[in-house]
């Protein structure tokens, strides 16, 4: 056995509140890697409704890596939420038409933060909010109800509003080794063979693995 198939929508039998996101996303501007899951007892397939202000004309993407765990009510604010900020007013007159469309700002005049990127093996806790253009590094943890307004370094725990670093999950040597291993890119068979290593914090064993396998 090499684990659940990444093509399954609900990989936990009898527990349909959990879904592999890649298999339910329809928006081509939301890209999700294998095995990343969303957990919502109300509507496991309603993730896209929590990607807010994601208008096609903005062309920004939400990119989520592999093996991420995303809790209920996590929301992503995309660039379409931004208003022009360097004028005397931020009010979006143009969207209401009837003559007001003459002051429609160009895309270049709007704050644009780029794509929102979530790395691999990231855990995002309940009711967190991720702002436009943020990059969350591999192995990071976002505490419940955090508001993430800036990039999060790999293997870092952040929390609060605005989210601030609480601690590193590991020392720099371990983080470096994990970033070199990149276990999320392994085939399922290899992951299955090395589950005991991946679910431990045995640094000497990780070093030995790298010496013999990389």
Catalytic residue among 10, 29, 54, 83: 83
Cross-strand pairs, 31: 63
Structural contact between residues 81 and 112, judged by C-beta atoms closer than 8 angstroms: no
> Residue 131: which of 55, 25, 51 has the closest Cα?
51
Nearest-angstrom CA–CA distance, 176 and 179: 5
Structure-token pair, residue 85: 């900020």
Structure-token pair, residue 176: 């470096």
Assess whether 194 carries a catalytic annotation.
no
What 3-state class would DSSP assign to 135?
strand
Structural contact between residues 204 and 212, judged by C-beta atoms closer than 8 angstroms: no
> Residue 156: which of 122, 181, 192, 183 has the closest Cα?
122
Question: Could you tell me whether strands 75-77 and 51-52 are parallel, antiparallel, or unpaired per DSSP bridges?
Answer: parallel
DSSP-based helix, strand, coil % in the chain, nearest 5: 25, 20, 55
What 3-state class would DSSP assign to 11?
coil
Nearest-angstrom CA–CA distance, 155 and 75: 21
Residues annotated as catalytic are 83
């Amino acid at each position: 056995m090499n684990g659940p198939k990444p093509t399954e929508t609900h990989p936990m039998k009898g527990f349909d509140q959990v879904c592999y996101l890649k298999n339910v996303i329809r928006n081509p501007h939301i890209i999700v890697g294998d095995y990343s899951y969303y957990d919502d007892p109300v509507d496991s397939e309603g993730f896209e409704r929590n990607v807010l202000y994601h208008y096609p004309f903005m062309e920004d993407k939400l990119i989520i890596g592999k093996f991420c765990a995303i809790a209920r009510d996590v929301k992503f604010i995309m660039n379409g939420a931004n208003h022009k900020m360097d004028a005397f007013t931020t009010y979006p007159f143009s969207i209401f038409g009837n003559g007001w469309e003459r002051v429609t700002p160009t895309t270049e005049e709007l704050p644009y933060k780029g794509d929102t990127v979530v790395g691999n093996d990231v855990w995002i806790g309940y009711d967190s909010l991720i702002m436009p253009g943020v990059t969350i590094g591999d192995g990071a943890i976002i505490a419940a109800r955090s508001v993430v307004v800036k990039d999060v370094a790999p293997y870092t725990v952040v929390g609060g509003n605005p989210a601030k670093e609480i601690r590193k999950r590991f020392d720099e040597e371990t983080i470096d080794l994990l970033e070199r291993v990149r276990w999320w890119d392994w085939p399922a068979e290899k992951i299955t063979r090395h589950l005991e290593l991946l679910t431990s914090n045995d640094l000497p064993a990780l070093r030995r693995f790298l010496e013999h396998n990389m």
